[in-house]
Amino acid sequence: MSTMKVEFVNPFLESIINVLATMANTEAKPDKPFLKSEKSAKGDVTGIIGLTGEKAKGSLAITFTEPAILYIASQMLGETVLRVDASVADCVGEITNMVTGGAKKILSERGYTFDMAIPSTIIGENHSIIHKTSGRIICIPFETLAGSFFVEVCFGE
Amino acid sequence: MSTMKVEFVNPFLESIINVLATMANTEAKPDKPFLKSEKSAKGDVTGIIGLTGEKAKGSLAITFTEPAILYIASQMLGETVLRVDASVADCVGEITNMVTGGAKKILSERGYTFDMAIPSTIIGENHSIIHKTSGRIICIPFETLAGSFFVEVCFGE
């Protein structure tokens, strides 16, 4: 993993910890990042967004297990959410947008400017995401009180 | 649906028909497009890509049912594919890239330039995609000999 890649990943890591603390009063503890190849993170709800820039382009996916996102959405909405519905999808879109916005700001201070596309949310039990990139895909597992989620960042030329 | 929106959608429609005919010798017949709101296309494999531009940004999702993508991948690879595996994910990434590249070319001739992010493929039985956009989401259902798929295009400011 080149230095540039780590520079790209850390802002997303910082940003999701901040966003979940601020928006959902949820502490997210990062586990050891790994390079994703055959191994694939599986989850039930994913927020995904594309990024384009002059120097690189990429995509970010945040894949939540159902217990984790129900807890986070309940915290964000201030009421107990029992199933994955439109309001949960909204929360995931919002989280994805804010995390990317936060990371974009940090990256721009370091001379990498990116444009954000429109975030989408995928709902479906036990799905997985495969990024088509020449670059490497870095997966960071996170734990919350209620369950785990995975942040996948990939950038290519 | 404003005129600009139709201008954005037709190039993707043209492009997917061309790509599937050329790459997979598959005829794809479009059905009546609809504005997606509550109604959500469900499928088993989805290619998704973000687009950014000065005048608008958006995302494209192509959601295949399993029978449709197994047929298309078999046609592309020249061998019978019986289950959704990494080679199928590759085909979907490739289709998504080529469709977007084709549409990007047509749009740029009309004065709309876009940058493409990295395409991702989602695998998981019966998932659905929710786009977070201020703009409208247009869904075009397609039929092939082997089954159906859905193209969703959304653009916002």
Phi, psi dihedrals of residue A80, rounded to the nearest 5°: -70, 120
- Answer whether B119 sits within 8 Å of A129, measured CB to CB: no
- For A130, the closest of B97, B115, B121 (CB atoms) is B121
pLDDT in tens, chain B (157 residues): 444 567 788 999 999 999 999 999 999 999 998 887 756 778 999 999 999 998 888 899 999 999 999 999 999 999 999 999 999 999 999 999 999 999 999 999 999 999 999 999 999 999 999 888 777 889 999 999 999 999 999 888 7
DSSP code per residue over B105-132: HHHHHTT--EEE---EEEEEEEEEEEE-
Asked whether B137 and B66 are in contact (CB, 8 A), the reply is: no
A28-78 pLDDT, tens digit per residue, is 999 998 887 756 778 999 999 999 998 888 899 999 999 999 999 999 999
Taking the C-alpha atoms of residue B50 and residue A52, their distance in angstroms, rounded to an integer, is 8
- Report in angstroms the alpha-carbon separations of A92 from A102, B122, B149, B156: 15, 16, 25, 18
- Answer whether B124 sits within 8 Å of A127, measured CB to CB: yes
- Which helix or strand (DSSP H or E) is residue A155 part of? strand A147-156
- Answer whether B57 sits within 8 Å of A118, measured CB to CB: yes
Question: What's the token pair of residue B72?
Answer: 């298309």
Taking the C-alpha atoms of residue A145 and residue B41, their distance in angstroms, rounded to an integer, is 33
Minimal CA separation from A90 to chain B, in Å: 7
- Answer whether A94 sits within 8 Å of B132, measured CB to CB: yes
- For B117, the closest of A58, A96, A97 (CB atoms) is A58
Asked whether A154 and B118 are in contact (CB, 8 A), the reply is: yes
Using CB atoms within 10 Å of the CB of residue B22, give its burial: 0 to 12 exposed, 13 to 18 middle, 19+ buried. exposed
Name the nearest CA neighbour of B98 among B2, B4, B18: B18
Partner A contacted by B33 (CB < 8 A): no
